[in-house]
Structure 1
Amino acid sequence: MKNTRRLLVLALILSVFSSGSFAQKQFALKSPDGKLNADILVGNTIEYSVSHAGDLMLSKSPLSMKLEGGLAFGVNSKLSGSTTKSVNQTIDVTIYKRKKIEDNYNELTLKFKDGFDVIFRAYNDGVAYRFVSNLKKPFKVESEQAVFNFPADQKAYIPYVQIVREPLEKQFYNSFENTYEHISLSQWDTKRLAFSPLIVEGVNGKKVGIAESDLINYPGMFLYNGNTSNSLTGIFAPYPKEIKQGGHNMLQGEVQSAESYIAKYDGATSFPWRIVIVSEKDSELADSDMVYKLATPSKIADASWVKPGKVAWDWWNDWNLYNVDFKAGINNETYKYYIDFASKYGIEYVILDEGWAVNLQADLYQVIPEIDLKGLVDYANKKNVSLILWAGYYAFNKDIEGICKHYSEMGIKGFKVDFMDRDDQPMVDFHYKAAEIAAKYHMLLDYHGSYKPTGLQRTFPNVINFEGVHGLEQMKWSLETVDQVTYDVTFPFIRMIAGPVDYTQGAMRNATRGNYRPVNSEAMSQGTRCRQLAEYIIFESPLNMLCDSPSNYMNEQECTEFIASVPTVWDNTISLNGEISKYITIARQKGDVWYVGSLTNWDTRTLNLDLSFLGEGNYKADIFKDGVNANKVARDYVKETIAIPTDRQLKISMAEGGGYVMKIYK
């Protein structure tokens, strides 16, 4: 054991040299497998670079924090010492894409006399660093320097803020939803911010992912390239000075003016991790654990009460029911019908989306007269179904404790909180505090209208899902020029690095490329029916919506039964193949059953799948595949049972915008 420790510590090579009048120290931190190397230089500034198997992935990039009053972390700072350690452990997880996570890294902590530390970690799949303040007095952070310098003018997948507003500061108020632009760094639109995660192409097919984790009580990181160079810079929303109620149905907090700083503290604190993920193959990005691993462990001692599952959802299908003897809408009869549907198919939850509370009041205690919430809870309980309520941010934030207490006592199981649309320090703090209070009352939270996840789902497992994705709701209003199919095979490699997505799939109206059009009240998807089924496997989503009408689902018995049967959390996940914006295949295990899903872009595609992970034994699979006419009629599909070949090699085909699904069992 002692020899092992010595070998691990030897991976941290430290050398010292002088440069000019200021002594510089250089540190080299290697990943456990030795492929990834972070070179860290401490002098007048702190800089680091990242290479992988000899390939330079990130050039020298500075990092620092400027505090109010002239103090700076990382500028002319005096190094007092350093420590190293190596960790190889397993994290046990309950609500995730696998039960166990390998947490193996080498760590270097740089200690400075100026009252702060910088911690670097090297994993086999990436490098991360964070600042830690040891100051015991109140202080304010004026700015943070988070720079990512790339060795060449490389192409990137850029998720710009959707609406262009000037000046740039107005773009901090946004929904964190957009498709990607695949352009060179030098082609960056200098009038636009982007949000993370973001992917930059490197040499030899490698990719670099920029992300963050453990975002607690600090603004989230946007990315910007103001001079169309090879460099990306972190940009942070300032601390709000004046906030006014407004926005959608008076449910948002709109920043009217801002302070000159981005964050304030009463004393010592740890800042978020800045992450540089390096992948040799695109498929590795679709199965990254970096954000989860770096987050603060669970604050809930016993989270066994947190129940993931499926949700019958009303809003996307516009409460459209047919062949019923009542007027469908936001009323008791409609929700009893949704509850009956959920009960029939073993769906755990029904959500009451916007409309159950009196409009324009921002008051969640005012329920419209057409809804008897207690009566619906009692009715749902008899059917073994639970209810979740939609809540606008401003209304929820007015009395989080009282609202959670009141509705938990009524029997409501959680809230879908919407329209935050900011990630400044107070808004990030709201996410944390709401999670903490909701956990006290055993309430789930689905953060819709929110920034991307940054590990809060590990810290508070009752935060069961996040939006921050250009989801299927966009198909209610997006023009035909919006390419959702290509987005579907792009964001699993990028946005899902951060964590789960509230994408809300499950459309039973499916359109080919030429047939799609936006219809708000009877929306459709782009791509085939099998694509919608495969998305329940591909997209990580512990609280997973069935977006379409119960009436439509009951006309599609085979597909509905399959959707209802797919788990939402998993024992294991394997990313089998994929190329960003082209195709992806993911296998996920629950118990003795494996589910495999594939998606393609608008190209018809044949893939050879290696199913050797199944091991010994004879296996069969129930499959859903695109029908022979799916290129013309997107809902065309075939369901059949096949034997898995003994050599575990299987050829599959997908139509344009298609998908393929397997449920494999012995």
Structure 2
Amino acid sequence: MKIKFISLLIIAVLYSCSKENAKILDVSSPNKAVEVNFNLNGEGKPFYTVRFNNKTVVDTSYLGFDFKDVDDFEKNFKINNTSTSSFNETWQMPWGEQLDVVNNYNELKIELQENNETARLMTVVFKVYDDGIGFRYEFPEQANFKGDIYINDEHTEFNLTEDYKTFWIPGDWDIYEHLYNTTKLSEIDALQFANHKNLAQTYIPENAVNTPVTMVGSDGTYLSFHEAALIDYSGMTLKVDTENLNLKSNLVGSENTDYKVKKTVPFNTPWRTIQISDNAPDLIESKLIVNLNEPNKLGDVSWFKPMKYTGVWWEMHLGKSSWDYGMTQDMSTWTDGGKSHGRHGATTENVKSFIDFSAKNNIGGVLVEGWNTGWEHWIGFEDREGVFDFVTPYPDYDIDEVTRYAKEKGVEIIMHHETSAATETYEKQQDTAYALMQKYGMHAVKSGYVGKILPKGEYHHGQYMVNQYNNAAIKAAKYEVAVNAHEPIKATGLRRTYPNIISREGLRGQEFNAWASDGGNPPEHLPIVAFTRMLSGPIDYTPGIFNIKFDEYKKDNQVNTTIAQQLALYVVIYSPVQMAADLVEHYEANPEPLQFIRDVGVDWQQTKVLNGEVGDYVTIARQERGTGNWFVGGITDENARTIDLTFDFLDDNQDYEVIIYKDGKNAHWDNNPLDITIEKIDITKDSKLSVNLAEGGGFAMSLKKI
């Protein structure tokens, strides 16, 4: 990866001030729109405020810590020193939404010391960008505060100045697979979802929200709260004070300890982030989260190639086949004394059919789920340790033949590791499993962590599991393996530091349309996701379902979009691995819309968000690396609308051939989801175009130079 440093300006300004003579300290973004002020109150409690376009958006918000066995860090501080600096670089993504990323911020560093005999030290660092802020706590090496430190919780506040319209999911310690709610900040009630019937492993102990949580103000101010560089720490939820419009950090804990985080001084916390904009599209274009992470530590990762993929996955959710080899569909009883029941999906023959289809249709990979032994006891059993074997295939899956055939066809097999959240079993087998992948030339693995975490008492988003996810990916890089994690910890921009962290689930995905009893994901789901979950990083949402109703398998379920929106998702919902998720026969029955999946890129030179509003609609244009071709995707919620497009992102004096895949005149996500119109036109940079989107609909466009 090539890194270009444009400029680095360091200006150090030292202050010496006591609690009685504290000065207001401030730092502004390079364009002066975002301003952070820091100070201590009369008790020596540190606090900050944030202004955007000369308006206070975060008022007096206190900072501090609740420690176990030692005095808290909350008050009685003095400011020893402060320093400011400016930084400006352009770095390059080895894969991503764009090639060049500008990392330009002004920094304020405040060195605090307790004003007592202990005199412990803590530094607060603010980085202020044009698109928001990040701040973190740093604990330097010191004589009076050393060794292991046990954190009960942070006292990081975000004190808001308005009852914002808020798009949120509950602060669940185990999953992110909730539908988004749209309420005022003062109306958030997360505890109502504590016993969700479709989410067996949910745990919501407080009226809190998970991040990213996005808000829209009455004056068109947009805020999104999250965190960056989550390493060896607990995930942060935000506890909501509905009366005072206050958010406060609430770290994910464990039943096995009487603290939430264990650290050793010196250490830094993750960055606490606020993305700030006066328009919704800029939230998506922001690179604040990745910029707050350290540069690439892996070096050359060209062994991973962004790709589209098919696979043995959707058919199991439909009930056409099963993951297990010797049990019935509901995985509750043995049949034939443990012999195959004949419904196993990951057979040599079936996988070869996906390889053939992928090779014919410009699709680079095939995912194979259910290939390895252990699926008979993977869920619903109290003790799942030792169940899965990550190197031993079922009798009807010839891994040697499958990988040979795939290589012959120019297709890569994507490995699948379902851990069933049995972490010790996976740890013990990781080296062997990754070595097997390396032997067969497999460079991508989809990992899963379904179920309650083992050891008992741990949660998916606590410090224990943060380390599990991160360490698995770091180890995978040694074997040239990239990780697409499901049931994961949240994305926090670590893909910059470890570019083999390629994608993850971390939301209510496509499979809920196949088996949830609550009607699946409503049409508004993805227009919210684009401005919430997607701000944190790539999403493996598995688009491309053509058989919208799937009456052949499940008459009571369906995908709640039009087929045109399923095409649009390849552009709108970003991931460097994009699945063509439907069955081969459903694609072969619809060759015209399939052409867009054949053509669409997956790795981008640049991205432009053309328009959008949180929860309503969004239109995104992306230029493919290498070819220079552009692709545009637009989606809407349950409301039909007309999108007006201009093309000023195209090259001057150049004609483009455009294929438009759009909702037909009578299209509707429920009544007529397969109504699609495909047109060819020519355009230039000066062209204008209006596209009608049906209820729950969308459109996709490919633009190639003539």
- Give the TM-score of the pair, scaled to structure 2: 0.84
The residue correspondences of 1:250-329 to structure 2 (distance < 5 A) are 257-318=255-316, 329=345
Given that residues 307 and 364 in structure 2 are in contact (C-alpha distance below 8 angstroms), is that contact kept between their aligned partners in structure 1? yes
Shift of 1:655: 1.3
User: What is residue 144 of structure 1 aligned with on the other side?
Assistant: 154
Q: Could you tell me which residue of structure 2 aligns to residue 34 of structure 1?
A: 32
What does residue range 84-99 of structure 1 map to in structure 2 within 5 Å?
A: 84-99=84-99
CA-CA distance at 1:475 after TM superposition? 0.1
**C-alpha displacement at 1:615, in angstroms?**
3.5
Instruction: Deviation per CA, 1:475-503: give whole Å up to 9, x if none.
Output: 01234655531011111011111011011
Structure 1 position 465 matched with structure 2 position 503 = yes
Partner Cα distance (2:552, 2:49) in 1: 46
Shift of 1:609: 1.1
Which digits, 9 at most, give the CA deviation of each residue in 1:409-435, with x for residues without a partner?
233333211126711111111122111
Question: Which residue identity does 1:126 align to in structure 2?
Answer: G
> What is the number of equivalent residue pairs in this alignment?
624
Matched, 1:389 2:415: yes
Map of 1:363 onto structure 2: 389
Shift of 1:23: 4.2
Amino acid in structure 1 at the alignment position of 2:561: G
1:650 pairs with 2:686: no
Q: C-alpha separation between the residues in 2 aligned to 1:312 and 1:357? A: 22
Native 8 Å contact 1:156 1:200 kept in 2: yes
Q: 1:124 deviation in Å?
A: 0.4
1:370 Cα deviation after fit = 1.5
Q: Which of 618, 621, 638 is the equivalent residue of 1:602?
A: 638
Match of 2:703 in 1: 664
Kindly provide the CA deviation profile for residues 322-381 of structure 1, in whole angstroms up to 9, marking residues without a partner as x: 9xxx97723111111111111111211111113533322122233221111122111111
The C-alpha deviation readout for 1:530-568, integer Å capped at 9, x for no partner, is 100000000111111111001111112222232132121
1:374 is paired with a residue whose SS is helix
Paired position in structure 2 for 1:580: 614
Tell me how far 1:645 sits from its aligned partner. 5.3
Instruction: Name the CA distance, whole Å, in 2 between partners of 1:72 and 1:82.
Output: 22
In 1, the alpha carbon distance for the partners of 2:472 and 2:373 equals: 20
Q: Quick check: 1:455–1:498 contact (8 Å CA) kept in 2?
A: yes
Residues 629-657 of structure 1 show CA distances to partners (whole Å, capped at 9, x for unaligned) of: 21342111121211225633221111111
| Partner in structure 1 of residue 184 of structure 2 | 184
In structure 2, the residue matched to 1:244 is: none
AA matched with 1:37: E
Could you say which residue in structure 1 is the equivalent of 2:441?
411
* Aligned-pair CA distance for 1:466: 0.8
Structure-2 separation of matches of 1:462 and 1:483: 29
| Structure 2 CA distance for partners of 1:16 and 1:81, relative to 1, 3 Å | closer
- Correspondence for 2:665: 628
Distance 1:346 1:437 in 2: 30
* Equivalent in 338, 354, 375 of residue 338 of structure 1: 354
Q: CA deviation at 1:15?
A: 9.4
Q: CA deviation at 1:517?
A: 8.4
Residues in 1 aligned to 2:68 and 2:20: alpha-carbon distance in whole angstroms: 25
**What is the Cα deviation at residue 518 of structure 1?**
11
Matched, 1:193 2:232: no
Instruction: Tell me how far 1:574 sits from its aligned partner.
Output: 0.6
2:212–2:532 CA contact under 8 A, matched in 1: yes
Partner residue in 1 for 2:110:
110
Shift of 1:17: 8.8
**Counterparts in 2 of 1:16 and 1:484: CA distance versus 1, 3 Å:** farther
Partner of 1:254: none
SS of the residue 2:24 aligns to: strand
Going from structure 1 to structure 2, the CA distance change for 1:523 and 1:561 (only over 3 Å counts) comes to farther
RMSD between superposed Cα atoms in Å = 2.6
Residue range with higher mean Cα deviation, 341-350 or 499-508: 341-350
CA positional deviation for 1:385: 0.9
> After the TM superposition, which of the residue ranges 388-397 and 441-450 deviates more from structure 2?
388-397
- Structure-2 separation of matches of 1:371 and 1:231: 55
Alpha-carbon distance between aligned partners in 1 of 2:212 and 2:56, rounded to the nearest angstrom: 20
Per the alignment, residue 615 of structure 1 pairs with 651
Counterpart of 1:368 in 2: which secondary structure? coil
Aligned-partner SS, 2:649: helix
Q: 3-state SS of the aligned residue for 1:453?
A: coil
The alignment partner of 2:403 has SS state of helix
**Contact between 1:130 and 1:270, CA under 8 Å: does it hold in 2?**
yes
1:73, 1:305 → 2: CA distance? Answer: 46
1:119 maps to what in 2? 125
The CA deviation string for residues 5-29 of structure 1, in whole angstroms up to 9 with x for no partner, is 99x969x9x99998xx744332111
Deviations 1:453-492 (A, max 9, x none): 1112112111110111222111012346555310111110
Cα distance in structure 2, aligned partners of 1:30 and 1:520: 56
Check the 8 A contact 2:662/2:676 in 1, yes or no.
Answer: yes
Residue in structure 1 matched with residue 541 of structure 2 by the alignment: 503
Q: CA 1:400 to 1:99, structure 2 compared with 1: closer, same or farther past 3 Å?
A: same
